[in-house]
Amino acid sequence: MDAIVIIVISLIIIWIMWSAVIGAGFEPTSKNLVTKMLEMAEIGPNDVLYDLGSGDGRIVIEAVKNYGASAVGIEADPIRVLWSRIFLFFNGIQDKSKIKWGNFFKEDIIEATAVTLFLGGKTNQKLKEKLVKELKPGTVVVSYIWTFYDWTPIEVNYRDRIYLYKIGTSNV
Ligand SMILES: C[S@@+](CC[C@H](N)C(=O)[O-])C[C@H]1O[C@@H](n2cnc3c(N)ncnc32)[C@H](O)[C@@H]1O
């Protein structure tokens, strides 16, 4: 019996820690800042937004409902995938959005016209190669709190720590 309890507790700890190990732990962006990120990216009906590490799906939902975009979330945590898919369903937006269960380092993001991130400094740094390789010139990347050390943002909201980059401009 004790062994079963230890195994279950260990599995729960691994489950909670796994996302942090492969990218970043869960912490939702506030609704107000989600709006500021999407405004800064000038999201509109022609956009396909990818939220890498989509958590509870709030950025995906906001992009579709209030900006008319199509949106894809990629999330490693199966519980949050399930939860955000339920939110998509109850918001009636499954035709314009989806949540993929997976590791964003391994998923195709080529169709994105805008990417949102709330991850970590090291994870952003690791993502650079993929972003440059897969995203089309002109694709915007909005990162909350964390910058890309040697890329120059084209716009910064210092107060809220939101950074906007554009693939193919300055040194990106
Ligand atoms: C700080 S939360 C941000 C959630 C959401 N984007 C938001 O702004 O509210 C980071 C999310 O990224 C997920 N994550 C971290 N690394 C990942 C990876 N390599 N692939 C997919 N999801 C990942 C975590 O599980 C977590 O839900």
Specify the number of domains making up the chain: 1
pLDDT(16) > 80: no
Pick the residue whose CA is nearest to atom 12 on ligand 1: 53
pLDDT tens track for 36-63: 999 999 999 999 999 999 999 999 999 9
pLDDT(34) > 80: yes
Pick the residue whose CA is nearest to atom 4 on ligand 1: 55
pLDDT(17) > 80: no
172 assigned to some structural domain = no
Mutate to test the pocket of ligand 1, among 33, 49, 79, 119 (most ligand atoms within 8 A of CB): 119
Percentage of residues in the chain having pLDDT higher than 90: 81
Q: What was the pLDDT predicted at 83? A: 95
Answer yes or no: are the C-beta atoms of 37 and 142 closer than 8 Å.
yes
Phi and psi angles of residue 84, each rounded to the nearest 5 degrees, phi first: -70, -30
Phi and psi angles of residue 57, each rounded to the nearest 5 degrees, phi first: 85, 10
Answer yes or no: are the C-beta atoms of 96 and 73 closer than 8 Å.
no
- Any residues with Cβ below 6 Å from ligand 1, and which? 19, 22-24, 26-29, 51, 53-55, 58-59, 74-77, 80, 103-105, 118-119
171 assigned to some structural domain = no
CATH number at residue 7: 3.40.50.150
Closest atom of ligand 1 relative to the 80 alpha carbon: 27
| Mean pLDDT of the region 120-149 | 96
Closest atom of ligand 1 relative to the 117 alpha carbon: 6
C-alpha distances (whole Å) from 52 to each of 5, 6, 12, 75, 130 are 34, 33, 23, 7, 12
Answer yes or no: are the C-beta atoms of 66 and 117 closer than 8 Å.
no
Q: What was the pLDDT predicted at 101? A: 97
106 assigned to some structural domain = yes
Which are the contacts of 73, defined by CB distance < 8 A and separation ≥ 6? 50, 51, 54, 55, 57, 59, 60, 84, 97, 98, 99, 100
Centre of ligand 1 from the C-alpha of residue 116, in Å: 11
77 vs 141: CA distance, rounded Å: 22
146 assigned to some structural domain = yes
Q: Where are the alpha helices (DSSP H) in the chain?
A: 2-22, 31-40, 58-67, 78-91, 121-134
Q: What was the pLDDT predicted at 45? A: 98
Average pLDDT, the chain: 94
Q: What was the pLDDT predicted at 2? A: 85
102 assigned to some structural domain = yes
pLDDT tens track for 72-119: 999 999 999 999 999 999 999 999 999 999 999 999 999 999 999 999
Question: pTM here?
Answer: 0.92
Q: What was the pLDDT predicted at 18? A: 78
Helical packing angle, 58-67 and 78-91, nearest 10°: 20
20 assigned to some structural domain = yes
Question: Which pLDDT band, with edges at 50, 70 and 90, does 170 fall under?
Answer: low
| Domain span holding position 138 | 2-166
Phi and psi angles of residue 85, each rounded to the nearest 5 degrees, phi first: -65, -35
